[in-house]
Structure 1
Amino acid sequence: MTVLIPQKVEQVLFAYENELKCTFNNKIFGVYIYNSVALGNFDENKSDIDFITIINEDFNEVELKKIKLIHQKLLNAHKYASKMEGMYIRTDRVGKGNDEISPYLYFSDKKLHEYGYYDINSVTWWTLKNYGIPIKSPDVSNLKLNIQWNDVITNMNHNLNYYWKRKLENKLIFMTDNWIEFSILTLCRILYTFENNKITSKTEAAEFAAKIVNEKYKKIISEALRIRTETSKKSLYTFRVTRLRDTRSFIEDIISYCNDKYNLI
């Protein structure tokens, strides 16, 4: 499948790659994009421009300042640079999880972070391996990613039975629009992944989930999509507490459904 990168996204990515290569030469192995842009589901209002920059060596203190200047230059010159979210990963760490590597450099919320953990997991590597697009860089096959679908399922299992079960312990976080959108659409995406053995955008996953889940959950899925697409400022719910209960119930039921059908835990 050939995915056409939106022109404005392509412009900022080409500028970014050019600045890196001109500044650091062979220290940069390649720049790659994954997730919504690579999947052909980029939404200019909501989607991030997810990238992974593979480096041959770590940056020193002087070079870190240059990286910051590059990102600032892009932010000043390109509207979509503010959507960039990504990581700088050394070649010998490609394909590994956060629990296997030391903290790394990453860019998020228009800021370069030195150092920490971000979006490195089996889903990230699998998406990069199967859908990743090189930006004037060696083909993705050169990364020799040894990631299998079972690794993705293991990650999804952990996501459901550790991360989301822990979130359910906090009864108040689901009062906000951001958490409604994030939780409902993420659970829809997990459900879609199990049911279809592939990964898609949150919006497509939500549309799929709305067709197969219990009728009572269609409203909360529509609410999450309303928040994401900003089609209306008015909630579908009169009371936030009712929305909270529907959200928690949806999460609990998706966890139980996946655990029962796919023999998780």
Structure 2
Amino acid sequence: MTILIPQNIEQVLFAYENELKCTFNDKVFGVYIYNSVALGNFDDNKSDIDFITVINEDFNDVDLKKLKLIHQKLINAYKYARKMEVMYIKFDEVGKGNNEISPYLYFADRKLHEYGYYDINSVTWWTLKNYGIAIKSPDISNLQLNVEWKDVITNMNHNLNFYWKTKLKNKFIFITDYWIEFSILTLCRILYTFENNKITSKVEAAEFASNVVDEKYKMIISEALRIRTAASKKSLYKFRVVRQREARVFIENIITYCNDKYSLI
């Protein structure tokens, strides 16, 4: 399946690739797009533009100054440069998890972060391997990604039974709009992944979940979609405490359902 890059973001993608390779030459192996753009689900208002930029060697201090200037130049010139999220991963660390590699450069929230960990996991590599788009770069097959679907499932299992169970211990975390949107749509996406053996956008996953979950959970999914799409400024809930409670119940239900059906624990 060939995904066409939306015309409104195409210019910034190629400008980034050109600036990078003209500045650093052979230090850069390739520039690749994954997630919403590669999946064909880019949302002009909410989606980020997610890159994996593969480098052949670490950038030195002079290089870092040049890289910061490149990102600032793009932000000044292109509206969608603000949506860029880039992880700079060395070629010999491609396909590995955060726990297996050294801290790396990443650009997020309009800032270059020197050095840390961001969005590297099995889902990242699987999406890149199966849906990624090379931006005037060597074909993705050259990255020799060995990630398999079972690795994605292992990642989802950890997400459910460690990350989200830990979040549920926080009594106040689901009060804000951010956490309602992030949690509910992420859990919908995990459910979709288990049920369909593929990855999709959060919005499509939420629409799927709305058709398969119990009627009592549909309102909290609709609320998350309202926040995501900015369909309305008015909440579907009169009281945030009620919304918080229903979010927690939904998350607990999805965890239990997936654990029981797919024998995760």
- Counterparts of 1:90 and 1:171, CA distance in 2: 40
* Amino acid across the alignment from 2:244: L
Query: Which residue does the alignment assign to 1:19?
Result: 19
| CA distance, structure 1, for counterparts of residue 154 and residue 197 of structure 2 | 13
SS in 1 for 2:205: helix
Deviation at 1:215, TM superposition (A): 0.5
**2:53 aligns to what SS in structure 1?**
strand
**1:243-258 correspondence to structure 2 within 5 Å:** 243-258=243-258
Per-residue CA distance 1:3-42 (angstroms, 9 max, x = gap): 1111121100100000001001011000000000000000
Shift of 1:51: 0.4
RMSD over aligned CA atoms reads: 0.4
Unaligned runs of 5+ in 1: none
Residue 191 of structure 2 corresponds to 191
Gaps of at least 5 residues in structure 2 are: none
d(CA) in 2 for partners of 1:100, 1:125: 14
Aligned length: 265
The residue that corresponds to 1:51 in the other structure is: 51
Paired with 1:224 and 1:58, the residues of 2 have a C-alpha distance of 40
Other-structure match for 2:112: 112
What does 1:1-265 align with in structure 2 at a 5 Å threshold? 1-265=1-265
Q: Secondary structure at the match of 2:241?
A: helix
CA distance in 2, matches of 1:261, 1:34: 29
The code of the aligned residue for 1:251 comes to: I
CA distance in structure 1 between the partners assigned to 2:32 and 2:213 by the alignment: 35
- State the Cα distance separating 1:155 from its structure 2 match: 0.2
Residue 102 of structure 1 aligns to a residue whose secondary structure is coil
Give 4+ residue runs of structure 1 displaced > 2 Å after superposition: none
Residue by residue over 1:22-75, the C-alpha shift from the partner in whole angstroms, topping out at 9 and shown as x without a partner, is: 001011000000000000000010000000000000000000000000000000
Q: Distance in 2 between matches of 1:198 and 1:157?
A: 15
